[in-house]
Amino acid sequence: MFGKIQVVLAAVLTMAAGAPATAAQRPSDPVRTAAMVALRQLVADGNPAALGYLRIGDRQWRLAAGTADRSTGAPATPGDRFRIASNTKAFVATVVLQLVGEGRLSLDDPVSRWLPGLADRVTVRELLDHTSGIPDPTEDSHFFDPYFVRHDWGYVYRPRDVITLALREPPAFPPGTGYRYSNTNYLLAGLVIEAVTGHSAVSEIQHRLIGPLGLRDTSFPVTDPHIHGRHLHGYDKSYTDVSTFSPSYDWTAGAMISTTADLATFYRALYGGRLLAPAQQRALGTTVPEPDAPIAAGLGVFRMTLTCSDGAAVPVWENDGAGPGYLSMSMASLDGSRQAIAVVNVYDLDVEVHGGVPIIPSSGAIDVMRAALC
């Protein structure tokens, strides 16, 4: 949940299995036209705004539809920032793998080598591919009482406090014997980065990835509940603005802010082999299947099959992020030559933690993916 939303993603894929959205006239730019039709469908279905990024080779499209701020009526623009939620995990896994490539740690190291007294039977690899069995306390609705009950939108959770809550519960299974997505894994991975480097995880991501890739609209807040600069406002399903929300509970599991273009730049570099040595690139894409979901987990990334409107099956790398007010989905062809990203600004975390459907159902996001990848 809050990022690797397997059940929601599976439902969207099933719903989107029919014919793609089509334009009324023959388009002069079929990729742009198909993507814009899909984005407008997302808005028509109830999302105030939808953003899209598509790339085929060196051709790129940055698109927007709808309203960024319902209170002012400001239109959405392609460069609007948004919370990328669990897309953050790909950045964190990349830094861990870079440290492995530098010989500073091993994927087979027990976590307790770097964090004494914590997760002594779990390896670093098992954190990154979610096979640790460590529970996720954010699955308990009461975890979010400071926000949704007391309306303290700036409430700060420290990473070690969240980890302590997680480790009070019994593991879902012995490490390495099953799969269960848990944000706690990536909070521990963030602490491992800090233990290995002696620097904050945020500063390591900044100087290894954000700076070198020129991601000028990407930031990593730790406690600041506000999104600064031009951005999409995020909403729950009743259209209450939830843009102001402390990212502290998510930290290295999902606190980053970015744009579609910056996110695409990062994934293009990652899947194109520019960020990791060959051995670590292979480790990145070594997957374990997720039970009851059409997707397999690598190290901070996922592999799945996109079904095109003609029935063709296209294997892709997939990442997504979901949290208060925002849902984003990113896919790339296995050879890295094609990419697509779709973003909407409705995601109801309070509904989700109480067992409901947090999104506005729409096939539009998958149709954006198809416009570039099929």
> Would you call 86 a catalytic residue per the annotation?
yes
Eight-class DSSP state of 133: -
Enclosing H/E stretch for 159: helix 159-167
Among 28, 71, 86, 112, which one carries the catalytic annotation?
A: 86
Instruction: Tell me how far apart the alpha carbons of residues 319 and 328 are, in angstroms, rounded to a whole number.
Output: 8
Residue spans of beta strands (DSSP E) within the chain: 49-56, 59-69, 74-75, 82-83, 257-258, 288-289, 295-297, 302-307, 313-323, 326-333, 338-344
Place of tokens 């969240």: 162
Q: Given phi > 0 = left and psi -120 to 50 = alpha, else beta, which region is 151?
A: left
Chain centroid offset of residue 65 CA:
21
Q: Given phi > 0 = left and psi -120 to 50 = alpha, else beta, which region is 27?
A: beta
CA distance to 171, 187, 286, per residue, from 111 (Å): 15, 12, 20
Residues belonging to the active site: 86
